[in-house]
Structure 1
């Protein structure tokens, strides 16, 4: 059972896959060659059978962790009785062409005194289901399994043989690096390498480090954000970039799977895919920071999905896709893994792909509308596809669905799904009329107005004096905190303000917000969960739009205290303050950016 908590990790990546690094120098999560590929290192979910890549000093040492400023390059520092050292971890960014070759570079430096580092490379291919062989060679090591391999390159100088000890133990390779002040060595792990291990000189390694630093700083320099919370907003932007699959522009919800929403519970999902909802939200967040290219690339990804015409249970759009745009997401459990701190089952794949979630059409159209306002032109083919999606929605919006929270307790007429259907027609009408595009505007207007009337008649609960989760109960739902962002009602309309008050009283605890109450609104799953950080930041946004700036700023600053040591957030926060759920979660960092931008503007 793993002892390292979710929050004790940092993220590195190359824009096609990513790795999590613990505060004691262990990579205990890494999938290759893509985010959604089987794991190579998975100790995060099973300490004994998952595999890891560890670089840390021999003996007891204190550790701390930070990012090299304005980059995704990670520095883990160690201090012990004989010296101070550090491990610098990074993955050189890949281009937009999909590749199976990925590098994890681990630079090892002794800063003061002397320090001996221990290196353990213990891969477990295919979620630990595929055996492999380990072989030491002249300039490193080779790990081979059926259909795949990785190599370990040594970073050293001529005459270094006396500095290192190497041996094979079973399926693993162990190294020792004895360094004195000023010495720099390291290793580079490469997946599906075209060549055998080679000796990498320190100067070449440091050049690779500087090139990676320069790449990230050049990318971040494109940000136009000049608000009050630059450091945490920049870290969130870098995190979103790390979660973007460069060949397609799709944004994964998180790089992990199976991390629990409740310790010991069954709410353990695979988030290594691109949800239409999450990625659509990213457009407005990235445009607000000036990252137009990323927004445009997702727009192209979304356009491809609509043109393909999924035509499944959820209509022309699937709820989620693999990073390459395919929809083979059959859910299964890894019965041989114990799960994070005993939380099982550990699921791969995600059956939510086959659900009906009507809100995704509003989020998709809203992202296209935002891109249009930013000056991106929608092609004729793109418009034709959007029109077809809206025509489908005209026939299907008034039916029960699984909803934004992907419940498994039966379909309902969720208010949020109706709200976002209203957004879909509203944005389609605006796009058609602004650019004179052919469209059944009269029918779309009728649909939009019908939804508006239904929401006021059925979504509004007179006794609760609030908009509620669905039309057959009085339960509250934090997804409706997004209502003022949509324009459905003014942000200071009495109906919305009373809803905000109801959510504050029923779902908010000291700035932290629950999605809904599973006890009051059964979702088909056992157990409960923590507060949902997306909703907590959306709550800040809603307060700011309502003019309650003191409350908004206090809630925002409190939320910042729940970030981990390097500014990252998981999906949820437990009553103990512990981070829970998949990590880091794009949803949370998107909402943080939205809240910071809205609050900045409101504060002036």
Structure 2
């Protein structure tokens, strides 16, 4: 079976893993999302069913005939049903425990697998083969009467189970006559009945997620798609610090043999801004509040100086890019990268994203910690940096590695930083500061309109004094720089669509970059086009295109970063927060109002 991205994520905002359509865990890192892949098969060139494959956790039925797989409703708990050729059936429930306990959220770096026979007596084999040091070797193993320890990597993991340990270590076929519970977590004693305890954890985890979903303000239409996207965005949070990663994977190429293989297991301030923007629209204030803590720590750390576009989930600034040579890569398409050179880039839009993420806290009375005058004062140096840099070259949001220019999107986001500081100052009653920031925003607006608008072409350009197109120009409407009804913006939308649309889907840009011409479409850009079509009066076209994008999701209801021009294959890291943000925003924008059913 060829590797693909038709995968079901599980997680608890500390641990995360990806499960394939045969019920095998093929990806999962410890002790954090950006750690060593304990399960690494996704980045191998091997069929996960091969006898000698490493880096997975498989529960296999002998003579498998049929598989059914889905999430339990409104949870990230995966149910896989395996049926053999005799009709004997078993069920696997996969989840990472998460629920409130002792006045805090219990979310260990742990994976739970519950296996039970449904009909007949299926024969199964359990293959638990973790790797260490980025696939260099199998984890060393020690055993006890009811546990197996896996050592040699950055975190020792312990499996506690009521299954005979030798069934697992010997990988022997055996009859599944009674339920099996397996808890793979920290190297600690499990001083309780593993079957009863994991069953309780299942119920409490299920209840936690269903209660969280009940707090969301979902649109009338496409609720199942929106809920699944929202749950998965929450799985991309590293709750201990408030960071939000761009995806759960590294090095899934943007297209076949492209070399465009990046590590997305870090917190891009831009991506995180879009995530909290989308979830705030759904009422998920907990995600916003936790991320704001991450931002406050970051702003304090940088003391008004240069802000990187990306940091580690523990606020680490150094994400030195290197190659993991032991892993051949997704379908053998290496390299497998650890770290991301973008931490060295100048990307000036980040100053806007810090303030746009934070400004709601000056107005939102739901928050446990509303923003204060002191928070405003701490943000003002960020605004000063935005003003200072708004008309200077950077690598753009697309992170070009071989060229710089003054990018319109970056300049507009810097403008938005100063504009929103003016709004916050008014809310706080700091009228002199409001005038200061509004004056700066107006000055920046005049510069952008004179240099980003191309009079000859009658539209905005992607760079100052240039002619280039890129899809980020569609965001000028979202940040309220120019309304969709403005003739300049209408012409820009038409030009972007004509120049970058390939069938239903949108490119980021069409010009060659450091790796040649793009050969796949970028999913968030298609969602940006959908928003622009709707706001410019082309509502029916927008709905049709949105429905098209929904058909391209995996069985789990999710999207990666990129899609082939024919729509038949997803590429890029998965699940991609950008893409899920686009789904939520478009559903919210396009849906009929709730009043339609009242």
**TM-score if structure 2 supplies the norm length?**
0.92
Q: Contact 1:13–1:90 (CA<8 Å) still a contact in 2?
A: yes
SS of the aligned residue for 1:3 comes to coil
Taking a change above 3 Å as real, the CA distance of residues 466 and 200 of structure 1, as seen in their structure-2 partners, is farther
Distance, in Å, in 2 between the alignment partners of 1:443 and 1:403 is 27
Distance, in Å, in 1 between the alignment partners of 2:118 and 2:401 is 53
Q: Contact 1:544–1:602 (CA<8 Å) still a contact in 2?
A: no
SS of the aligned residue for 1:366 comes to helix
- Residues 1:9 and 2:7 aligned together: yes
Aligned length: 582
Taking a change above 3 Å as real, the CA distance of residues 213 and 100 of structure 1, as seen in their structure-2 partners, is closer
- Structure 1 residue 381, shift from structure 2 partner: 2.9
SS of the aligned residue for 1:117 comes to strand
- Structure 1 residue 97, shift from structure 2 partner: 8.3
Of the three residues 171, 176, 181, the one matched with 1:174 is 171
- Residues 1:92 and 2:97 aligned together: yes
Matches within 5 A, 1:152-301: 152-156=159-163, 166=167, 168=169, 174-180=171-177, 183-190=178-185, 192-195=186-189, 200-301=193-294
SS of the aligned residue for 1:563 comes to coil
Matches within 5 A, 1:378-393: 378-393=371-386
Of the three residues 309, 322, 345, the one matched with 1:332 is 322
Taking a change above 3 Å as real, the CA distance of residues 493 and 346 of structure 1, as seen in their structure-2 partners, is same
Tell me what 2:424 maps to.
Answer: 431
- Structure 1 residue 440, shift from structure 2 partner: 4.8
Distance, in Å, in 2 between the alignment partners of 1:324 and 1:573 is 31
Of the three residues 503, 511, 518, the one matched with 1:510 is 503
Taking a change above 3 Å as real, the CA distance of residues 88 and 167 of structure 1, as seen in their structure-2 partners, is closer
Taking a change above 3 Å as real, the CA distance of residues 138 and 583 of structure 1, as seen in their structure-2 partners, is same
Matches within 5 A, 1:454-469: 454-469=447-462
- Residues 1:586 and 2:577 aligned together: yes
Distance, in Å, in 2 between the alignment partners of 1:165 and 1:124 is 20
Tell me what 2:84 maps to.
Answer: 80
- Structure 1 residue 155, shift from structure 2 partner: 3.0
SS of the aligned residue for 2:350 comes to helix
Distance, in Å, in 2 between the alignment partners of 1:3 and 1:199 is 40
Tell me what 1:595 maps to.
Answer: 586
SS of the aligned residue for 1:499 comes to helix
SS of the aligned residue for 1:166 comes to helix
Q: Contact 2:45–2:332 (CA<8 Å) still a contact in 1?
A: no
Tell me what 2:132 maps to.
Answer: 125
- Structure 1 residue 575, shift from structure 2 partner: 2.2
Q: Contact 1:361–1:420 (CA<8 Å) still a contact in 2?
A: yes
Taking a change above 3 Å as real, the CA distance of residues 92 and 449 of structure 1, as seen in their structure-2 partners, is same
Instruction: Encode CA deviations 1:312-345: one digit per residue, 9 max, x unaligned.
Output: xxx4422111111121211111122211112222
- Structure 1 residue 94, shift from structure 2 partner: 7.1
Tell me what 1:482 maps to.
Answer: 475
Tell me what 2:535 maps to.
Answer: 545
Distance, in Å, in 2 between the alignment partners of 1:137 and 1:305 is 44
SS of the aligned residue for 1:114 comes to coil
Distance, in Å, in 1 between the alignment partners of 2:499 and 2:95 is 43
Q: Contact 2:502–2:565 (CA<8 Å) still a contact in 1?
A: no
- Structure 1 residue 472, shift from structure 2 partner: 4.9
- Structure 1 residue 455, shift from structure 2 partner: 2.4
Taking a change above 3 Å as real, the CA distance of residues 146 and 345 of structure 1, as seen in their structure-2 partners, is closer
Distance, in Å, in 1 between the alignment partners of 2:106 and 2:516 is 40
Distance, in Å, in 2 between the alignment partners of 1:310 and 1:266 is 36
SS of the aligned residue for 1:64 comes to strand
**TM-score if structure 1 supplies the norm length?**
0.91
SS of the aligned residue for 1:420 comes to helix
Distance, in Å, in 1 between the alignment partners of 2:571 and 2:309 is 23
- Structure 1 residue 537, shift from structure 2 partner: 1.3
Distance, in Å, in 2 between the alignment partners of 1:398 and 1:250 is 29
Distance, in Å, in 2 between the alignment partners of 1:155 and 1:570 is 37
- Residues 1:62 and 2:66 aligned together: yes
Q: Contact 2:320–2:341 (CA<8 Å) still a contact in 1?
A: yes
Taking a change above 3 Å as real, the CA distance of residues 194 and 553 of structure 1, as seen in their structure-2 partners, is same
Matches within 5 A, 1:104-143: 104-129=111-136, 132-143=139-150
SS of the aligned residue for 1:489 comes to coil
- Structure 1 residue 53, shift from structure 2 partner: 1.1
Taking a change above 3 Å as real, the CA distance of residues 317 and 109 of structure 1, as seen in their structure-2 partners, is same
Distance, in Å, in 2 between the alignment partners of 1:113 and 1:368 is 56
Instruction: Encode CA deviations 1:186-229: one digit per residue, 9 max, x unaligned.
Output: 32212x3222x778453333222111111111111111224211
SS of the aligned residue for 1:76 comes to strand
Q: Which runs of 5+ in 2 are unaligned?
A: 47-52
SS of the aligned residue for 1:102 comes to coil
Distance, in Å, in 1 between the alignment partners of 2:168 and 2:320 is 40
Distance, in Å, in 1 between the alignment partners of 2:328 and 2:127 is 22
Cα root mean square deviation, aligned: 2.4
Larger mean Cα displacement after TM superposition, 269-278 or 294-303: 294-303
Instruction: Encode CA deviations 1:291-314: one digit per residue, 9 max, x unaligned.
Output: 112211112211221121166xxx
Q: Contact 1:85–1:108 (CA<8 Å) still a contact in 2?
A: yes
Instruction: Encode CA deviations 1:451-476: one digit per residue, 9 max, x unaligned.
Output: 22232222122344322211354221
